[in-house]
């Protein structure tokens, strides 16, 4: 039997992003559910605005953490970089096929970083998070006049003679109604992408958690605890250990 060995894999910024992002996503999904079903839950207009304000504030934390992680993928350790996270390269399809064959047999190929299937999951997750972040920033500007777009949105919809800085959500008497209609048409695609992105993210998170649990059960490697400690304990030599590939 191969000897167990501990490998340092996830650096601190990567681990911090993972858990800050996870907590933000849980909070945003919960708040999003309340907002989407506010009428059925009999949430008042004032309550709905409060939920939207909290959702947006948490969303800014999420966007900030996402930007840090995207930047860290250029400077982090080898397992945190784009090359180790995204599918691609001449040997990727070969590695994917070999991993799937091994996964459904009793011989498992172990990875320190993301395995070939995990790279597909990471790519899908990042794309969804980026879509949600971008659409969320636009909606924060159109709904609450929050930066970075709120200043221009307020100038767009302010009625003649009204100081755009005094605009507040729902104060229809302060809006130019024709401009408001145009702004609502502008934001409609962003609303749709945000809502459908929300449902896709919920499904993706469920698949991600299931995949992590199944992989740890079948392959070992302390996959879950490594997101806290940074270390993976693996028997044998991982495919992507230093000096391989």
Mean pLDDT (10-residue bins), the chain, 245 residues: 82 94 95 93 92 96 95 94 88 90 82 92 94 97 94 95 91 91 96 96 93 83 88 86 58
Residue 108 has what pLDDT?
77
User: Residue 60 sits in which domain range?
Assistant: 4-235
Q: Which domain CATH number covers 213?
A: 1.20.950.20
Render pLDDT for 64-73 as a digit per residue (tens, 0 to 9).
Answer: 999 999 999 9
Find the helix or strand (DSSP H, E) in which 67 lies: helix 45-75
Residue 105 has what pLDDT?
82
Residue 243 has what pLDDT?
54
Whether residue 150 lies inside any domain: the answer is yes
Whether residue 242 lies inside any domain: the answer is no
Whether residue 65 lies inside any domain: the answer is yes
∠ CA 100-106-108, nearest 5°, is: 50
Residue 217 has what pLDDT?
84
Whether residue 29 lies inside any domain: the answer is yes
Residue 153 has what pLDDT?
96
Cβ–Cβ < 8 Å for 11, 76: yes
Cβ–Cβ < 8 Å for 127, 200: no
Whether residue 73 lies inside any domain: the answer is yes
End-to-end Cα spacing for the chain:
24
Whether residue 200 lies inside any domain: the answer is yes
Whether residue 244 lies inside any domain: the answer is no
Render pLDDT for 76-116 as a digit per residue (tens, 0 to 9).
Answer: 999 999 999 999 877 899 999 999 998 888 777 888 999 99
Whether residue 241 lies inside any domain: the answer is no
User: Domains in the chain: how many in total?
Assistant: 1
Residue 244 has what pLDDT?
46
* Dist CA 137 CA 132 (whole Å): 8
SS3 41: coil
pTM of the shown model: 0.91
* Dist CA 201 CA 124 (whole Å): 9
* Dist CA 80 CA 67 (whole Å): 14
Find the helix or strand (DSSP H, E) in which 136 lies: helix 116-143
In this structure, the number of other CB atoms found within 10 A of the CB of residue 3 comes to 6
């Amino acid at each position: 039997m191969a000897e167990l060995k501990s490998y340092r894999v996830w650096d601190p910024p990567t681990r911090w992003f993972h858990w800050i992002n996870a907590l933000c996503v849980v909070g945003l999904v919960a708040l999003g559910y309340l907002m989407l079903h506010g009428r059925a839950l009999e949430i008042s207009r004032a309550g709905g605005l409060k939920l939207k304000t909290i959702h947006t504030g948490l969303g800014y934390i999420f966007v900030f953490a996402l930007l840090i992680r995207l930047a860290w993928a250029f400077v982090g350790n080898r397992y945190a970089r784009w090359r180790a996270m995204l599918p691609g390269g001449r040997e990727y399809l070969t590695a994917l096929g070999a991993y799937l064959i091994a996964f459904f047999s009793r011989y498992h190929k172990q990875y320190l970083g993301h395995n070939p299937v995990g790279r597909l999951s990471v790519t899908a997750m990042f794309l969804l998070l980026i879509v949600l972040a971008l659409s969320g920033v636009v909606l924060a500007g159109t709904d609450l006049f929050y930066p970075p777009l709120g200043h221009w949105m307020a100038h767009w919809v302010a009625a003649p003679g009204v100081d755009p800085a005094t605009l507040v959500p729902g104060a229809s008497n302060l809006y130019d109604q024709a401009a408001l209609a145009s702004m609502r048409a502008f934001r409609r695609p962003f609303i749709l992408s945000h809502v459908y992105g929300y449902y896709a993210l919920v499904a993706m998170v469920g698949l991600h958690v299931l995949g992590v649990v199944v992989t740890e059960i079948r392959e070992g490697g302390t996959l879950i605890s490594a997101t806290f400690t940074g270390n993976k304990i693996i028997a044998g030599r991982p495919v992507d250990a230093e000096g391989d590939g």
